[in-house]
Amino acid sequence: MVTIPLSRPPVDDEIKQAVLAAMDSRQWILGPECKEFETELARYVGVRHCVLSNSATAGLWLTLRALGVKAGDEVLVPSHTAFPTIEAICFADATPVFVDADAFYTMDVADAAARVTPRTVGVIPVHLYGQPVDVPAVRELATKFGLWMLEDCAQAHGAAWQGKKVGAFGRAAVFSFYPSKNLTVMGDGGAVVTDDDEIAARCRRLRDHGRLNKDVHSEVGFNLRFNDIQAAIGRVLLRRLDAMNDRRRELAALYGKGLAGLPLELPRERPGARHVYHLYVVRTPRRAELAAFLKERGIQTGVHYPVPTHRQPAVEHFAPSPLPATERLVDEILTLPISAGHTDAEIDAVATAVRAFFGA
Ligand SMILES: *Cc1c(COP(=O)(O)O)cnc(C)c1O
């Protein structure tokens, strides 16, 4: 019995009406809704191009191909991320070079610098949990070693560093619209954003069978297109994104008050950053006990992620080196419920239950 879910994505009449309206056009694949959503999302992020795709995983793969990644190329990537970030690198024939985590659970840039080799071509920082990475440090790393930067913004729609939105710092960036993410489309979906005309054009081609025009295929791509029904939903929710993120920040502040003074590490916002709390992740060595205690009270929790990507069987053949900070934190992190759809009362109830667990 779950009374407080981890996430509650929006469903309402405005969204349903947008879906019904999108049906009428009979242009359901890359039609007018997709074109508008691309224009609006690019404008929102502050870049020139947006290329919709059917997932962020696909978007990462498209971008890596467009960047010209080839076998033997090494790509720096935090181990502490969702597996798709790694998977896209592998699927593009490149080698993931796993990097340890910093105090904010994002990529430790000093550790990344120590792992650069003559084969390193790029870096994929992940704005994990909705928290921007150390943007100036990653930029400096990319400049110093001549690497491209591809931002994984799957968890960070609307997050910003010094007032500039994430997704506008790298050569390109990728967003996900998976149901629990800050911007959703009632199913799978993703987008590549970039200021680079060539990367945008190549992603557009690759997502549609490498097509130059209706009849000519200049290279082998795949079918990774998006659809108008879901784009219509994305457009409605993009208009609400800032308000939904403000709401997430409000609830995070409520947690901050309710959980203060406990032997529990709370998320911290990096100075200069706007954290959008895709996930609210606390940390305690008593993680399993706390999760069980909350479950008994109908409160859903999660662990993002219990098995670090560098320890996944699928990438064993890369023989990744140990990453002590990542390996420590994965045993202690716990995700508490948060989304724009949660009420103050629900967050208070979770905080009260956590306080009860610690006997406070
Ligand atoms: C969700 C997520 C992805 C994958 O997104 P999909 O749209 O499900 O393919 C990639 N990276 C991170 C960090 C994610 O959280």
Query: pLDDT band for position 255 (50/70/90)?
Result: very high
Q: How far, in Å, is the centroid of ligand 1 from the Cα of 85? A: 7
pLDDT in tens, 196-234: 999 999 999 999 999 999 999 999 999 999 999 999 999
Q: How far, in Å, is the centroid of ligand 1 from the Cα of 82? A: 6
Looking at residue 250, what is its pLDDT?
98
Looking at residue 235, what is its pLDDT?
98
Does 13-235 match 241-357 in CATH topology? Answer: no
Percent of the chain with pLDDT over 70: 100
Q: Is the pLDDT of residue 1 over 80?
A: no
Ligand 1, pocket residues at CB < 6 Å: 55-57, 81-82, 84-85, 126, 152, 154-155, 176, 178, 188, 190
Looking at residue 2, what is its pLDDT?
74
Q: How far, in Å, is the centroid of ligand 1 from the Cα of 201? A: 23
Tell me what the mean pLDDT of segment 165-184 comes to. Answer: 98
Taking the CA of residue 304 as reference, the ligand 1 atom at the shortest distance is 15
Tell me what the mean pLDDT of segment 279-303 comes to. Answer: 98
pLDDT in tens, 149-165: 999 999 999 999 999 99
Tell me what the mean pLDDT of segment 66-87 comes to. Answer: 98
Taking the CA of residue 55 as reference, the ligand 1 atom at the shortest distance is 7
Q: Is the pLDDT of residue 279 over 90?
A: yes
Q: How far, in Å, is the centroid of ligand 1 from the Cα of 262? A: 32
pLDDT averaged over every residue in the chain: 97
pLDDT in tens, 27-67: 999 999 999 999 999 999 999 999 999 999 999 999 999 99
Q: Would you list the domain boundaries of the chain?
A: 13-235, 241-357
| Per CATH, domain 13-235 is 3.40.640.10 | yes
Q: How far, in Å, is the centroid of ligand 1 from the Cα of 88? A: 10
Looking at residue 309, what is its pLDDT?
98
Taking the CA of residue 189 as reference, the ligand 1 atom at the shortest distance is 7
Ligand 1: residue of 6, 52, 57 to mutate (most ligand atoms within 8 A of CB) is: 57
Tell me what the mean pLDDT of segment 117-131 comes to. Answer: 98
Tell me what the mean pLDDT of segment 86-90 comes to. Answer: 98
Q: How far, in Å, is the centroid of ligand 1 from the Cα of 55? A: 8
* 241-357: CATH topology: Aspartate Aminotransferase, domain 1 (3.90.1150)
Q: How far, in Å, is the centroid of ligand 1 from the Cα of 24? A: 31
Taking the CA of residue 155 as reference, the ligand 1 atom at the shortest distance is 15
Looking at residue 297, what is its pLDDT?
97
Tell me the whole-structure pTM to 2 decimals: 0.98
| HEC assignment per residue over the chain | CCCECCCCCCCCHHHHHHHHHHHHCCCCECCHHHHHHHHHHHHHHCCCEEEEECCHHHHHHHHHHHCCCCCCCEEEEECCCCHHHHHHHHHCCCEEEEECECCCCCECHHHHHHCCCCCEEEECCECHHHCCCCHHHHHHHHHHHCCEEEEECCCCCCCEECCEECCCCCCEEEEECCCCCCCCCCCCCEEEEECCHHHHHHHHHHCECCECCCCCECCCCCECCCEHHHHHHHHHHHHHHHHHHHHHHHHHHHHHHHCCCCCCECCCCCCCEECCCCCEEEECCCHHHHHHHHHHCCECCECCCCCCHHHCHHHHHHCCCCCHHHHHHCCCEEEECCCCCCCHHHHHHHHHHHHHHCCC
Taking the CA of residue 88 as reference, the ligand 1 atom at the shortest distance is 10
Taking the CA of residue 58 as reference, the ligand 1 atom at the shortest distance is 9
